[in-house]
């Protein structure tokens, strides 16, 4: 009987796949010593991973000047994204506090990574999150890390508030001043810009117009950027320019999100009068404050002719006209002209609101403004050159209305006349 010999090939041993390992490092401030420490951590982890034959290098992710209580750390989020893409098997970090100081944040990401099969190894505590008892230990230690963060935060707050009680300001840099050895020192060329802002505002110019004028004059901002209306408003509202110092205007809500909010009575404030040399006389500062309040009240008044919004157009730049409250009257002006100045829309012109209403009533044969009739019959109005309002009707027709400029005397309100009368009496009494 013939023998049948069958050769059985041995199974090839499977090569063990190397783990893809990444590292995460973080420092909470941008000081040179901290950045040097961060660079050392990056080098250490790169060498550590490359030298291990069972590991494959998957990168070192490092955040500088980022607090561990927040999630929006760019390198941290990049690490998490790579884990979600299943490109990392293990993450190494120095300690729990480097990964996150917020217990909720820490456990949220550790659990997510664990579900993805990604192990996080904390060197200092010698904890692998993938292990059975890893999360229990992690929760306890993370609580200590968060408590430490709270303690550091409260110590910093105590030091700052103690300084406030003694009338000491924290480091500050604002237009016109520089804090040198704890004293506010005037910067002459910047102080001139501050005075111009206050003078222009008292002359009746709006904040947007003032910012446009400063930009056209190439006046420098404190940080070298462009002039924006909110920056002008901050200067007008800052008591430091009249020599006073109000401390603790804002507070940090909590040590987790570190959000700064206005202090509206949660903590005491400290006012130090005549703390330093003033750039603006106190009388001028108070006049500006009163004018700010007056204009704010006018802005809050219900708009009687809100139906005009979006109906008046500039045929030269294509933008709508907007309502503008001035010291003399309420006017409508081109949005481009109002925000960027005359050189960007030189052919537009401001129109008094009562002139617009008079023109509408004339065109529609109304004794008084009727919003429903206006919206029904008028499609839009073009504000053309030579004081011409071109009415475009909903039936496709159009007609022109030419309006006349008011004289200076007609544009004065009773309040303005009374102010002028008092100023004249005061000048005469001073012998001027």
Q: How confident is the model at residue 413 (pLDDT cuts 50, 70, 90)?
A: low
Least confident of 145-149, 384-388, 398-402: 145-149
Neighbours of 249 (CB within 10 A): 12
* pLDDT recorded at residue 256: 47
- Maximum alpha-carbon separation in the chain: 144
Residue 235 has pLDDT above 50, yes or no: yes
352 close to 282: Cβ distance less than 8 angstroms: no
Portion of the chain with pLDDT greater than 90, in percent: 28
Mean pLDDT of 266-276: 75
* pLDDT recorded at residue 153: 53
Tell me the HSE value of 33 on the side-chain side, using a 13 A CA sphere: 0
Tokens at 159, concatenated: 């030091």
Q: How confident is the model at residue 165 (pLDDT cuts 50, 70, 90)?
A: low
Mean pLDDT of 165-178: 69
In terms of pLDDT, which residue wins out, 389 or 171? 389
Q: Is 422 left (phi over 0), alpha (psi -120 to 50) or beta?
A: alpha
Q: Which residue has the tokens 């924006």?
A: 228
3-class secondary structure, 327: coil
* Most confident range, picked from 80-94, 130-144, 201-215, 224-238: 80-94
Residue 302 has pLDDT above 70, yes or no: no
In terms of pLDDT, which residue wins out, 3 or 201? 201
Q: Which residue has the tokens 């309002």?
A: 389
CB neighbours of 274 closer than 8 A, spacing ≥ 6? 243, 244
CA distance 28 to 98: 9
Q: Which residue has the tokens 């012109």?
A: 349
């Amino acid at each position: 009987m013939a023998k049948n010999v069958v050769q059985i090939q041995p199974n090839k041993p499977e090569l063990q796949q190397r783990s893809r390992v990444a590292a995460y490092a973080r420092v909470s401030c941008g000081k040179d010593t901290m950045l040097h420490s961060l660079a050392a951590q990056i080098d250490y982890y790169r060498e550590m991973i490359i030298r291990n034959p069972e590991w494959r290098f998957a990168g070192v992710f490092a955040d500088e000047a980022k607090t561990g209580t927040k999630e929006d750390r760019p390198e941290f989020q990049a690490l998490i994204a790579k884990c979600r893409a299943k490109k990392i098997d293990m993450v190494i970090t120095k300690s729990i506090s480097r990964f996150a100081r917020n217990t909720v944040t820490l456990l949220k990401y550790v659990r997510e990574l664990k579900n993805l099969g990604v192990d996080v190894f904390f060197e200092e505590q010698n904890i692998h999150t993938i292990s059975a008892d890893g999360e229990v230990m992690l929760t306890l230690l993370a609580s200590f890390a968060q408590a430490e963060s709270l303690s550091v935060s409260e110590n910093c707050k105590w030091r700052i508030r103690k300084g406030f009680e003694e009338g000491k300001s924290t480091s500050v840099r604002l237009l016109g001043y520089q804090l040198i050895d704890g004293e506010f020192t005037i910067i002459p060329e910047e102080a001139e810009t501050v005075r111009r802002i206050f003078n222009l505002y008292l002359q009746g110019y709006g904040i947007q117009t003032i910012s446009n004028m400063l930009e056209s004059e190439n006046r420098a901002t404190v940080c070298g950027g462009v002039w924006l209306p909110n920056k002008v408003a901050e200067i007008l509202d800052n008591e430091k320019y009249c020599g006073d110092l109000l401390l603790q205007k804002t507070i940090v809500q909590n040590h987790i999100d570190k959000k700064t909010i206005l202090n509206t009575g949660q903590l005491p404030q400290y006012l130090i009068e005549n703390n330093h040399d003033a750039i603006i006389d106190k009388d001028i500062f108070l006049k500006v404050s009163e004018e700010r309040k007056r204009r704010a009240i006018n802005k809050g008044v219900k708009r009687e002719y809100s139906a005009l919004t979006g109906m008046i157009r500039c045929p030269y730049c294509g933008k709508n006209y907007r309502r503008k409250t001035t010291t003399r009257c309420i006017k409508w002006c081109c949005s481009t002209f109002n925000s960027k100045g005359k050189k960007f829309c030189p052919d537009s012109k401001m129109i008094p609101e009562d002139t617009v209403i008079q023109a509408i009533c004339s065109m529609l044969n109304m004794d008084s403004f009727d919003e429903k009739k206006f919206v029904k019959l008028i499609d839009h109005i073009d504000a053309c050159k030579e004081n011409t309002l071109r009415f475009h009707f909903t039936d496709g027709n159009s007609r022109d209305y030419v309006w006349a400029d008011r004289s200076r005397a007609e544009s004065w309100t009773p309040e303005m006349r009374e102010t002028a009368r008092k100023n004249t009496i005061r000048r005469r009494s001073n012998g001027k």
